[in-house]
Structure 1
Amino acid sequence: MRLKRFHIRYYPPGIILDYEKAGLLKTKSIDLLDLTPETDVDALITEITETEPLITASRVDQVKVLIKRLQEKLGQKDDHTFFLFKALQAHILPLTNVAFNKSGSSFITGSYDRTCKIWDTASGEELHTLEGHRNVVYAIAFNNPYGDKVATGSFDKTCKLWSAETGKCFYTFRGHTAEIVCLAFNPQSTLVATGSMDTTAKLWDVQTGKEVSTLTGHTAEIISLSFNTVGDQLVTGSFDHTVTLWDISSGRRVHTLMGHEAEISSVQFNWDCSLIATGSMDKTCKVWDAASGQCLATLEGHKDEVLDVCFNYTGQLIATASADGTSRVYNATTYECICKLEGHEDEISKVCFNPRGSRVLTASADKTARLWELNSGLCLQVLEGHSDEIFSCAFNYEGDIIITGSKDNTCRVWR
């Protein structure tokens, strides 16, 4: 094994190693999820060199420089105030979803008007309209980190794969017998997973456009799905009150996570693939051990359905969004509620952390999105101007641009 080069990864903090083994170029990462500006760098490097043979004595100084750069980034003041940059009359019917590519240089919007559009973030210009679906385009995704492809899932029971650069349709994936309501690329961008009202999930080959496998076993709609960061497992959440963990290579069920008393609304893995968070209409969020399938904790406190859950980038925090108009942030290790975010006047359908994990963004049916400070639970900003409910919101990778998508047919860019 021979180390070729280093890359720095800011969110979550880590160092990527490119190395050669038996003539092949490979990549591995040193995750530094617990790094803080106060971390003792020398002690950390000693720890790394003991476990990572690629970091030899001659490379220690380089690693030290990279870790200090990561600490500087973590120590920067987070006081960005967002202003409306552009209000885009994006579609002729309500939007369903918005999503950034990895760098945040472009974003996509899906709509009831049967199209998906690709936008340039810096100018607010429309780059491409992806046309061809015969019904609502409900689920959309870039193949991050690459960002050169877009997948769209529709109520017409098909998923389409497009070139993000030209807007050309590569493939139409046919096989579901009901609406597609969720989809995701695996991290390697070799597969697309689709979840449908027909109770199945399917895996599709990005290269050939062929179906790889059908994941069967749920008895009601699959409403949410998520790959782990390694890409060897997929988790699906269903209206049958259960969550299933699947092995990608065999298409077999690894665990069925049972315990929720109502429909599942949202499922997600944490960064190191050790935990799964699930949100449910039973007003709770549950945390599961991905290896054993055991329920580790039930996060309670909401007075109405939990509509969305997410981990921060390092996987140490979990945020929930509820129909009770509040959002909560929990410690993913102790399961304590760190703060309760109160102020919205209607249900919150979407919640996400900024990349640094210091802010939370919520989208609500009260026509506003709100930005919250994590430690205090204070509302820092109310993003106003939409004339109907906001059901989608996202940060770019740097955390200095926000997009919000609304039922009012528009999308707003804040920076």
Structure 2
Amino acid sequence: MSRSADPGHFFQTDASELTRGRRAAKSGNKKGDPIVLSSKILNIAADPFSPNSVYVAESAGCIRRVNIETKNTRAIYSGPTAPLTSVAIGGQGGAFVFAGCWDKDIWSWERESRTVSKRYKGHSDFVKVVICAKIMGKDVLISGGADSKIIVWDTATGERLHTLRDMKDGMMAVQDLALDPKHSTDEEIILVSASSDPHIRLWRIGLLSSSQIVDLAPESQGKPPRQTILEHQTSVYRVMFWGDDEDAELWTASADGTAKCLSRAKNWSVEDTYVHGDYVRGIAVTGDWVVTAGRDEDVKVWDQSTGKLRHVYDGHYDEVTGIVALPDGRIVSVSIDGTLRVWEMSTAAFEKAIKEKEGEVEPKQSIMTAEEEAELADLMGSESE
């Protein structure tokens, strides 16, 4: 017996029917010059070797390298049979592509040949994020999982060097990881982690030792000590540093509907807040603009100098799962709708988009009453008899 996957063949609430109808009507739009892939896109990373390319992680179980200019999507890293949640480039000068997977493993491929390399096994639940680093000249891979664990791996051998977990505060699923560019050194790195609780944690990691940093506001500064950064109300989905290494601030995106800039000089307290309005899944920063995106499908652009909303790009028709800034300042967004879209970041581009939106054809409203429309229908019917 055949089974249908069409949602229209199943019972649905009025709200879900309206959502499905709205997304179907919106799906054909060409905003952001969409590149359409065959499955949901769950993550995106910039290509460190090409200013016009990105890597995306797909629910179909593959990593794909996409050239934004040529729209070439043929470079595929395959093998997994479960969705891939994250992607990173690193190891031996960027010779490998790494991906976290729903099958609890981290997959790797040789970047040039696209052949499968090692599989890193150690998590007991979905791997949510992977990043690459170097400690004392050794390439390491760092992963975070839904099992609340952060694991540090020797990239070359696959050996587990450290397993980190905040047992005291009951850290939940790890959502994202970032390296502090100011305080990380050749001997040890400072890692920032975000999870499905509101707490942001810091970790000190060397080759032979690792520990959680629990003196974020030392008493010597005249402030009460705290063990975590607590500036959001619920899950934090993204953490990233932006700016010169010495002054880089910590930027965050949360399910509480906000993105925030946390000030290094103020011991990671809030400098600016951007109220996106729904779950924020991605954040990117350029010289002039802060860009947020998430569950409401919109890519919102904020003026970094004033904190005010400058423009809203509305091309996606399902949740936006990630955004990255290209070297030239453009933003690439990816979505569960299976598309990549590219957005220009300039006042001229915003004004052009507004004019195009104003010029969109709206359904014409009838100037006749219901009675007149009924009479016309009767007349047309009689003429055809």
Band of TM-score, shorter chain:
0.5 to 0.7
What is the CA distance between 1:339 and its match in structure 2?
Answer: 4.2
SS of residue in 1 equivalent to 2:33: strand
Where does 1:2-401 land on structure 2 (aligned, <5 Å)? 86-92=33-39, 94-102=40-48, 103-143=50-90, 146-187=93-134, 190-208=139-157, 210-219=158-167, 220-229=172-181, 230=185, 232-233=188-189, 234-238=191-195, 243=201, 245-253=203-211, 255-256=213-214, 295=226, 300=231, 306-314=236-244, 315-334=247-266, 338-342=271-275, 344-354=276-286, 356=287, 358-396=288-326, 398-401=327-330
What is the CA distance between 1:294 and its match in structure 2?
Answer: 5.1
Kept in 2, the 8 Å contact 1:157–1:177? The answer is yes
SS of residue in 1 equivalent to 2:342: strand
What is the CA distance between 1:239 and its match in structure 2?
Answer: 5.4
Change over 3 Å in CA distance of 1:256–1:330 after alignment to 2 = closer
Kept in 2, the 8 Å contact 1:339–1:374? The answer is no
> Which whole-Å CA distance do the structure 1 matches of 2:318 and 2:308 have between them?
24
Change over 3 Å in CA distance of 1:308–1:175 after alignment to 2 = closer
Kept in 2, the 8 Å contact 1:118–1:164? The answer is no
Kept in 2, the 8 Å contact 1:101–1:144? The answer is no
What is the CA distance between 1:142 and its match in structure 2?
Answer: 1.9
What is the CA distance between 1:104 and its match in structure 2?
Answer: 2.6
Kept in 1, the 8 Å contact 2:177–2:192? The answer is yes
Change over 3 Å in CA distance of 1:387–1:298 after alignment to 2 = same
What is the CA distance between 1:196 and its match in structure 2?
Answer: 2.2
Q: What residue identity is the alignment partner of 2:313?
A: L
Q: TM-score under structure 1 normalisation?
A: 0.62
User: How many residues are aligned here?
Assistant: 295
Identical amino acids, percent of aligned pairs: 20
Structure 2 unaligned residues grouped into runs of 5+: 1-29, 345-385
> Which whole-Å CA distance do the structure 2 matches of 1:89 and 1:255 have between them?
43
Kept in 1, the 8 Å contact 2:84–2:101? The answer is yes
What is the CA distance between 1:251 and its match in structure 2?
Answer: 3.7
The residue aligned with 1:68 is: none
What is the CA distance between 1:345 and its match in structure 2?
Answer: 4.5
> Pairwise CA RMSD of aligned residues?
3.4
Change over 3 Å in CA distance of 1:394–1:366 after alignment to 2 = same
Which is richer in strand? 1
Kept in 2, the 8 Å contact 1:137–1:155? The answer is yes
Kept in 1, the 8 Å contact 2:60–2:82? The answer is yes
What is the CA distance between 1:237 and its match in structure 2?
Answer: 4.6
1:190-235 per-position Cα deviation (integer Å, ceiling 9, x unaligned): 1111222334332333334x21423144445433333444362244
Structure 1 unaligned residues grouped into runs of 5+: 1-82, 258-286
**Rg bigger for which structure?**
2
Q: What residue identity is the alignment partner of 1:201?
A: I
Q: What residue identity is the alignment partner of 1:100?
A: A
Which is richer in helix? 2
What is the CA distance between 1:184 and its match in structure 2?
Answer: 0.7
**1:410 to 2:339 alignment:** yes
SS of residue in 1 equivalent to 2:207: coil
> Which whole-Å CA distance do the structure 1 matches of 2:300 and 2:196 have between them?
29
